[in-house]
Amino acid sequence: MTHAAVVDFETYLDESADRVTVALDALIPRAEGPEARLLSAMRYAALGGGKRLRPFFVLQCGRLFDVDERGLLRVAAALECVHTYSLVHDDLPCMDDDDFRRGRPTVHRAYDEATAVLAGDALQALAFEIICHVDTHSDPRVRADLAASLARASGARGLVGGQMIDLEMEGADVDVGIVTRMQRMKTGALIGFAATAGGIMARASDDARQALAGFAHDLGVAYQIVDDLLDVEGDPNILGKAARKDLGRGKATFVAALGVEGARDQARRLAAQAKQHLDHFGSGATLLRQAVDFVLNRNV
């Protein structure tokens, strides 16, 4: 990827992140009334920045099918609500016990633990409220299918189940099979939803949906491997959170299973595979190809 392409892509990513933040700002109620503290914590968590990579994939994969932009933004915002709630709960003292996230105190540090639990709970409910609203898509079948798909990706067989396995594997012997399975649930499920939501909204062909599901799978694992590498090699000042925490805790990571070089090779292979899935969409998927390179080479 040339330097110009990198700049272009990061500009696109920033623009897309800004638009999702604007959508979230409009969709999360103002912090007013007796429940102001709760709403304030939800806004603090959801509007505090972040790469908004999952929303980016919702928007870009939806554009492959010319899906209405307003609906895509709502789905992107709903997905970000789920992703954000999972970070708020994962940061709690009883889970990963993190004090910083995106360069700011975590929600339970800025507010308190009870507020963090409740803000997460309310963000999950809001995600489904957003998805099921008629403004997301005029066809109620699409809305119901999107909600069902997001619920599956978020639940015991997806995001939450992956987090449970992650906690249980601390200190255990790991092999790459178990780590891959855990990460397919913990990270892969939401990335899979991000990549396929547009296909649901456009009632795209099975071939197209399968290509995007394959893309999401390979990309999701590559993303997590890079995350694990950044924990070992990253700069906490750039990351906005502590580094080298996984190693200290005996977390089951790809680096623990494959070593640094093995993990890096595996990420490269998966990134190449992810791009192959995009062949289905020809030149329409140029930005998505750049996104794969971005994921592979990111330092944050």
Please list every residue from 104 through 163 that binds a copy of itself, using CB under 8 A: 112-115, 117-118, 120-122, 124-129, 131-133, 139-141, 143-145, 147-148, 150-152, 154-158, 160-163
Stretch of 4-12, 90-98, 205-213, 267-275 lying at the interface with a copy of itself (CB under 8 A): 90-98
Q: Is the separation of the CB atoms in 36 and 111 below 8 Å?
A: no
Least Å from the CB of residue 191 to a copy of itself: 17
Q: Which is nearer to a copy of itself, 152 or 298 (CB)?
A: 152
Question: What are the distances in angstroms from CA 23 to CA 47, 70, 115, 215?
Answer: 10, 9, 23, 26
Q: Closest distance between a copy of itself and the C-beta of residue 28, in Å?
A: 8
* Residue 48 vs 214, nearer CB to a copy of itself: 48
Q: What share of the chain is helix, strand, coil (3-state, %, to 5)?
A: 75, 0, 25
Structure-block tokens of residue 190: 């939401």
Q: Which residues pair with 101 in a beta bridge?
A: 104
Asked if 47 interacts with a copy of itself (CB under 8 A), we say: no
In this structure, how many other beta carbons lie within 10 angstroms of the beta carbon of residue 103? 13
Distance CA 162, CA 124 (A): 17
| Residue 184 touches a copy of itself, criterion: CB under 8 A | no
Give yes or no for a contact between 135 and 72, defined as CB atoms under 8 angstroms apart: no
Residue 190 as a binder of a copy of itself (CB under 8 A): the answer is no
Q: Is 165 in the site for a copy of itself (CB under 8 A)?
A: yes
Which of residues 120 and 199 has its CB atom nearest to a copy of itself in the complex?
120
CB–CB of 131/65 below 8 Å?
no
Stretch that binds a copy of itself, among 37-45, 69-77, 241-249, 279-287 (CB under 8 A): 37-45
Per CB under 8 A, 171 contacts a copy of itself: no
Q: Angle, to 10 degrees, between the axis of helix 159-168 and the axis of helix 189-201?
A: 170
131 token code pair:
């998805």
The dihedral built from the CA positions of residue 186, 26, 99 and 260, taken in this order, carries a sign that is: positive
CB of residue 111 to a copy of itself, shortest distance in Å:
10
**Does 245 sit near a copy of itself (CB under 8 A)?**
no
Tell me the site size for a copy of itself, rule CB under 8 A: 59
Decide whether 4 or 134 has the Cβ nearer to a copy of itself: 134
Expressed in angstroms, the distance from the first to the final Cα of the chain is 18
Which of 299, 300, 289, 296 has its CA nearest to residue 8? 289
Residue 15 interacting with a copy of itself (CB under 8 A):
no
CB of 293 to a copy of itself, least distance (A): 32
Q: Which residues contact 147 (CB under 8 A, 6 or more apart)?
A: 128, 131, 132
Computed on alpha carbons and rounded to an integer, the radius of gyration of the chain in Å comes to 18
Q: Does 177 bind a copy of itself (CB under 8 A)?
A: no
Q: For binding to a copy of itself (CB under 8 A), which residues are involved?
A: 29, 34-35, 37-39, 42, 85-86, 89, 92, 94-95, 112-115, 117-118, 120-122, 124-129, 131-133, 139-141, 143-145, 147-148, 150-152, 154-158, 160-165, 167-168, 178, 181-182, 185
